[in-house]
Structure 1
Amino acid sequence: MDYYDLIIVGAGPAGSTLAHALQDSGKRILVIDKQDFPRDKTCAGWVTPAVMDSLDIDINHYGTGRTLQPIRRFRIGMMGQSAVENDHGEIVSYGIRRCEFDAFLLDRTAVPKQLNTPVKSIVRRDGNWVINDTWEAPLIVGAGGHFCPVAKLMGDGPGSHEVVVAAKEVEFEMTPQQAEVCEARGDTPELWFCRDLKGYAWVFRKGNFLNIGLGREDNHKLTEHLNAFVEEMKSEGRIPADLPGKFKGHAYLLYAHAERQLADDGLLLIGDSAGLAYTQSGEGIRPAIESALMAADIIRDQEDYSAQALQAYGEAIASRFGNRAMPQDEGWQVPDWVKMPLASTLMRSHWFTRKVVTEKWFLHQQVPPLATVSQG
């Protein structure tokens, strides 16, 4: 049996950030993931400057040999209407490929890693947790996404009424012919809201890579909405007519609708396993990074991993992201006041699409970056 102080299940941005923040803490840490890296990850793939600042990533260094698409504009519209384009006058975000971004974060983490290793069992034994009858630790952190096996140990949320968002996307490198006819521009991602405001689609070009997808709260209509959107974009020349491969799916919880417990005796959840995606946009990378840094701050000098001792983590999450509240009418990412006939008009407004949709909901420019947690 191999003993550690902390085992992190999931090597994505949340898990690797936690390991990186604690790698000089003196704690023995193991990172486990069911996949090898680099690996494909279903995600539109953009990060804000706040994320890069919190991760202490040098933009020039990261952009050498990797995709790093500066974003200065957004095209936003409602399906069936013309789009509004807003120029922010500066770089407000970066397009990345998750296969590169996640591998970069993991590679810089100097702790033992057990990759290509599914978690088959987690049992409680003498006050510790034992994974696959092989690795033992008093604390396990779940960072394995929506279906994380550590999250399953926590059980369903209080009311078990969690609204699960389902999304499908495809990312591929365009041929020269496809790139020539594609109207989408690299510095201008396109966001297209469903007319019922229960989801949105995107067209995101990163150099010669193109990412197309759609996310909704009602999974049974997802493919129908996606197919209609793709055909509309093809007919308008926004995307090439010949898309390769199949769209891949994933699921996640929105913060305001999630009911998952964040901590228990010897257990703690970060990132998508905790259901932290921003309610208005569905973005999960920044909340994942910040939750990992907050968890590291709690764990670094902690030897008591009881539920009571770990309660400070839940308080930190609530302080940063607000208190969770299940609304009576479970909408997806837009407030009730937008869900009116006024929505069609608002989506034609340069002020609303820029100041509210882009800068507030998607970029969270009103929220300063979380300071990088000291590693010493």
Structure 2
Amino acid sequence: MKYDVIIVGAGPAGSSAAYYLAAAGRKVLVLEKETFPRYKACAGGISIKALPLLDFDWQGVVEAKPRTLVFFYRSNQSFKVEWKEPMVYMVMRDRFDSLLADRAKKAGAEIKFGNPVEGVFIDPGSISVKTKTGFSYRASYVLGADGANSRVARSLNLLKNRRFGTAVAVEIQHDRGFGNHQEIRVDCGLVPKGICWQFPKTGQTSTGACTFRQGVNIYDGIDRFLTREGMEKKIILRKGHRLPADGGERKRLTAYRAMLLGDAGGLVDPLTGEGIYYALKSSFLAARAIIEKNTPDQVTALYQESIFRELFPELHAASRLTALYYRLTGVCFKLVQINPRLARALCDAMCGNFTYQKFIKSFASYISVRRQS
């Protein structure tokens, strides 16, 4: 049987693309290696800028709506930024991803769970996907939405020189109110060239750390963070994973009849590590290209152009800020700490209230206001 589109991976990128395409009348197959629901190592933050892409009833899986962001530097310096409205919506990925997959199925997409992909092969007039369970499927297009370790990318020789950071997710049983589900806590100095974070959920807290420096003992940093927060003896689960570190670099995300979405294409905010928005947005762009264009060359060209035009400028701006932060972490922290207006502007950019590009362009004005005052 030949499908219009085969999607590898049923996370936010894969299931969203499946929904758009199935709703437009395309015959869609999604191949997912896991069986849903499944745990996914992820902070689980839905940023403000992602909300327009979630135009259906998804609030039932929201675990918390924080309104306060507290930053620490090596535990002994801190500042706080507060909002009147939620600045991020917290979800557990098992529930959120299952909701998106169910939505795709209701639209007509076929999803095969427990089907890890072995390889992707370009054939005359089509593209085929072979699974490790021994089955082979053909389609007009393949979308790789299979995460940072994308089998689709490797099969098609895309993103050969990718760079990765190291991350660890730690789920903590939480029984002490934790700021009444209103507070996110971030430490900027416990892990070299990285951060530690703590996000409130219902009945637990998603804690983690990441670093983009090779050879760093990330577990030492997260252990110190947990000890400071009094949570070192409440661990439910600990899991390491890779984090794309090249989100701000222009790169080819297409091959003949194939496109990479979300983490598979390295589309991750270099400063915060947030990837759900980019997964949702890239899925929309890929589906739009398939629906609007007629030939494989036109489809992949439109998708690549859309990524460069609509996502890359913001990723590049975030990458510039990240490079500055990791080069001068202590100086950057102090500068933001003593300038509340600068702190709010940066946090608004991180949460998606406005862009990193706007923040960079306005940076000098924040500093000058501080000097005048």
TM-score interval, normalised by the smaller of the two chains: 0.7 to 0.9
321, 327, 334: which one pairs with 2:311? 321
Q: What residue is the counterpart of 1:106 in the other structure?
A: 101
Tell me the TM-score normalized by structure 2.
Answer: 0.84
Deviation at 1:333, TM superposition (A): 6.1
Aligned length: 346
221, 230, 240: which one pairs with 2:223? 230
Alignment of 1:187-198 (within 5 A): 187-194=182-189, 198=193
Change (3 A) 1:251 1:184: farther
- Mapped contact 1:258–1:275 kept (Cα < 8 A): no
Q: What residue is the counterpart of 2:206 in the other structure?
A: 211
Q: What residue is the counterpart of 2:140 in the other structure?
A: 138
Q: What residue is the counterpart of 1:87 in the other structure?
A: 82
Q: What residue is the counterpart of 2:332 in the other structure?
A: 343
Change (3 A) 1:184 1:213: farther
Q: Which moved more, 1:254-263 or 1:309-318?
A: 254-263
Change (3 A) 1:218 1:337: closer
Q: Which amino acid aligns with 1:363?
A: C
- Mapped contact 1:13–1:289 kept (Cα < 8 A): yes
- Mapped contact 2:178–2:200 kept (Cα < 8 A): no
* CA deviations over 1:113-134 (Å, ceiling 9, x no partner): 1111011232233231222252
Which blocks of at least 5 consecutive residues in structure 2 are unaligned? 357-373
- Mapped contact 1:77–1:83 kept (Cα < 8 A): yes
Q: What residue is the counterpart of 2:149 in the other structure?
A: 147
**Distance in 1 separating the partners of 2:214 and 2:219:** 11
Q: Which moved more, 1:241-250 or 1:6-15?
A: 241-250
Aligned partner of residue 43 in structure 2, secondary structure: coil
Q: What residue is the counterpart of 2:235 in the other structure?
A: 244
Deviation at 1:5, TM superposition (A): 0.8
1:50 aligns with 2:57: no
- Mapped contact 2:153–2:159 kept (Cα < 8 A): no
Deviation at 1:367, TM superposition (A): 4.6
Deviation at 1:254, TM superposition (A): 3.6
Alignment of 1:1-376 (within 5 A): 2-58=1-57, 62-64=58-60, 66-109=61-104, 110=107, 111-132=109-130, 133-157=135-159, 160=161, 162-172=162-172, 174=173, 178-180=174-176, 183=178, 185-194=180-189, 198-221=193-216, 224-234=217-227, 236=228, 238-258=229-249, 260-306=251-297, 309-322=299-312, 334-336=322-324, 339-340=327-328, 342-349=331-338, 350-356=340-346, 358-360=347-349, 362-367=350-355
Q: Which of 1 and 2 has higher RCO (CA within 8 Å, sep 6+)?
A: 1
Deviation at 1:79, TM superposition (A): 1.9
**Distance in 2 separating the partners of 1:346 and 1:226:** 28
**Distance in 1 separating the partners of 2:185 and 2:278:** 22
Change (3 A) 1:332 1:12: farther
Q: Which amino acid aligns with 2:273?
A: G
Q: Which amino acid aligns with 2:66?
A: I
Change (3 A) 1:226 1:232: same
**Distance in 2 separating the partners of 1:311 and 1:106:** 27
Aligned partner of residue 235 in structure 2, secondary structure: coil
- Identical columns (%): 23
The CA RMSD measured in Å over matched residues stands at 2.7
**Distance in 1 separating the partners of 2:246 and 2:306:** 14
**Distance in 2 separating the partners of 1:246 and 1:338:** 29
Aligned partner of residue 4 in structure 1, secondary structure: strand
- Mapped contact 1:48–1:93 kept (Cα < 8 A): yes
**Distance in 2 separating the partners of 1:56 and 1:146:** 26
Change (3 A) 1:13 1:286: same
Q: Which amino acid aligns with 1:75?
A: V
**Distance in 2 separating the partners of 1:84 and 1:185:** 19
Deviation at 1:257, TM superposition (A): 4.6
Aligned partner of residue 204 in structure 1, secondary structure: strand
Q: Which amino acid aligns with 1:188?
A: E
Which blocks of at least 5 consecutive residues in structure 1 are unaligned? 369-376
Higher helix fraction (1 or 2):
2
